[in-house]
């Protein structure tokens, strides 16, 4: 009964306060499922505000799973350009191809089939089933985790492990409006139960929130160490053009166009020129200017003044812009 009351309060709040997002538009069931698939891929490690214009542009150019399965790779990467984590785009297309081949072009509606698809893990599968198919799943994204941790006052590191949070989320109960309810919980975390300065006076379930009663809203985080890596980046420039290559060497930015690079295992006297945070890796980059062009396999030349004409990862564009300023 308590869970049902909790569910009702959160849904009532959502009905009044939900944001107008393009993937929440009232469309056919099949379109809603496609919108959910695309938006969930884009929202992986990317904020909503950033995703909105990319989603709108993507859906306009690629309006269905079947069209996505056949889209030209250059067009796909160009539409994704600036979002980063390009493996998401490649996995999205692979997923579309498998859906067309094995599921008659329809997004599968069960957990096991979904997690068998490229780029779809437990969270994304749960989100698709809840939002796209109205099934009673609660996807544990960062927003819902935060609500759960504060509502139950989970402070110890063992309490905030993923396995424990999966068990604890049952406190939220279920609803016949599973699609709305999953999004309501996400919205509650995004708009009210913020990482800092939560808006408790606007929270529909604040009466039973243990963190509010203790007036302690700090969140315990599991400590993750970023890997420090060092790279020598080779720059050869001729007539306003830079020499680039297709990356077949490193797992990051796989098959995308980058400057020739090599990893340094034991950097001595490494004077850091640039630092990039890529996934869970801190990239420390030292630039080496080449006087003569070295033979690279399938070199690619880009004009510094026409960067927007090329399909390049943001990482490469940032390097070019840095070089032009220094």
- Is the predicted pLDDT of residue 311 greater than 90, yes or no? no
Does residue 132 sit within a domain? yes
Lowest mean pLDDT among 121-125, 225-229, 312-316: 225-229
Count of residues for the chain?
326
Which of 279 and 161 is assigned the larger pLDDT? 161
Does residue 124 sit within a domain? yes
- The model's pLDDT over 212-245, given as tens digits with 9 standing for 90+, comes to 999 999 988 877 666 778 888 889 888 888 899 8
Torsion on CA atoms 141, 147, 153, 159, rounded to nearest 10:
-10
Does residue 255 sit within a domain? yes
Q: State residue 229 phi and psi, 5-degree precision.
A: -130, 150
Torsion on CA atoms 190, 253, 271, 237, rounded to nearest 10:
-130
Measure the CA–CA gap between 173 and 194, rounded to whole angstroms: 22
Does residue 15 sit within a domain? yes
Tell me, letter by letter, the H, E, C secondary structure of 58-124.
HHHHCCCHHHHHHCCHHHHHHHHCCCCCCHHHHHHHHHHHHHHHHCCCCCCCCHHHHHCCCCCCHHH
Regarding whether 174 and 289 lie in a shared domain, the answer is: no
Residue 170 domain boundaries:
2-214
Contacts of 127 (CB under 8 A, 6+ apart): 36, 40, 137, 139, 141, 182
Regarding whether 175 and 121 lie in a shared domain, the answer is: yes
Provide the pLDDT confidence category of residue 128 given band limits of 50, 70 and 90: very high
Regarding whether 169 and 246 lie in a shared domain, the answer is: no
- Boundary residue ending a domain (214, 245, 279): 214
Regarding whether 281 and 158 lie in a shared domain, the answer is: no
Q: What is the CATH number of the domain that holds 241?
A: 3.90.79.10
Does residue 106 sit within a domain? yes
As given in the structure block, the two tokens for residue 270 are 């490494």
Tell me how many degrees the CA angle 258-259-263 measures, rounded to the nearest 5: 100
Q: What is the CATH number of the domain that holds 125?
A: 1.10.340.30
- Is the predicted pLDDT of residue 277 greater than 70, yes or no? no
- Boundary residue ending a domain (214, 238, 272): 214
Measure the CA–CA gap between 213 and 155, rounded to whole angstroms: 14
State the CB neighbour count (10 A cutoff) for residue 184.
25
Regarding whether 237 and 111 lie in a shared domain, the answer is: no
pLDDT of residue 1: 45
What are the catalytic residues?
A: 40
Does residue 220 sit within a domain? no
Regarding whether 172 and 249 lie in a shared domain, the answer is: no
Regarding whether 116 and 207 lie in a shared domain, the answer is: yes
Q: Please state the domain count of the chain.
A: 2
């Amino acid at each position: 009964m308590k869970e049902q009351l909790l569910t009702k309060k959160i849904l009532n709040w959502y009905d009044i306060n939900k944001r107008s997002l393009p993937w929440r538009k009232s469309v056919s069931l099949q379109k809603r499922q496609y919108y959910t698939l695309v938006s969930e891929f884009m929202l992986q490690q990317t904020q909503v505000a950033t995703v909105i214009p990319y989603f709108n542009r993507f859906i306009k150019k690629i309006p269905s799973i079947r069209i996505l399965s056949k889209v030209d790779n250059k067009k796909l990467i160009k539409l994704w350009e600036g979002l980063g984590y390009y493996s998401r785009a490649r996995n999205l297309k692979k997923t579309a191809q498998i859906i067309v081949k094995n599921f008659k072009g329809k997004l599968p509606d069960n957990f096991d089939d979904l997690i068998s698809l490229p780029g779809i893990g437990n969270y994304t599968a749960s989100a698709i089933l809840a939002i796209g198919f109205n099934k009673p799943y609660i996807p544990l994204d960062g927003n819902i985790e935060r609500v759960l941790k504060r509502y139950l006052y989970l402070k110890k590191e063992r309490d905030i492990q993923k396995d424990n949070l999966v068990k604890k989320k049952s406190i939220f109960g279920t609803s016949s409006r599973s699609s709305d309810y999953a999004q309501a919980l996400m919205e509650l975390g995004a708009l009210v139960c913020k990482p800092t300065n939560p808006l408790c006076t606007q929270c529909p379930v604040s009466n039973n929130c243990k963190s509010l009663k203790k007036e302690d809203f700090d969140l315990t985080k599991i400590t993750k160490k970023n890997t420090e890596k060092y790279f020598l980046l080779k720059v050869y420039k001729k007539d306003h053009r830079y020499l680039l290559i297709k990356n077949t060497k490193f797992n990051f930015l796989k098959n995308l166009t980058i400057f020739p690079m090599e990893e340094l295992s034991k950097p001595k006297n490494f004077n850091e020129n640039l630092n990039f945070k890529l996934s869970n890796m801190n990239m420390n980059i030292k630039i080496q200017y080449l006087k003569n062009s070295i033979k690279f396999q399938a070199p690619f030349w880009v004009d510094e003044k026409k960067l927007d004409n090329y399909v390049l990862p943001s990482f490469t564009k940032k390097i070019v812009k840095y070089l032009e300023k220094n």
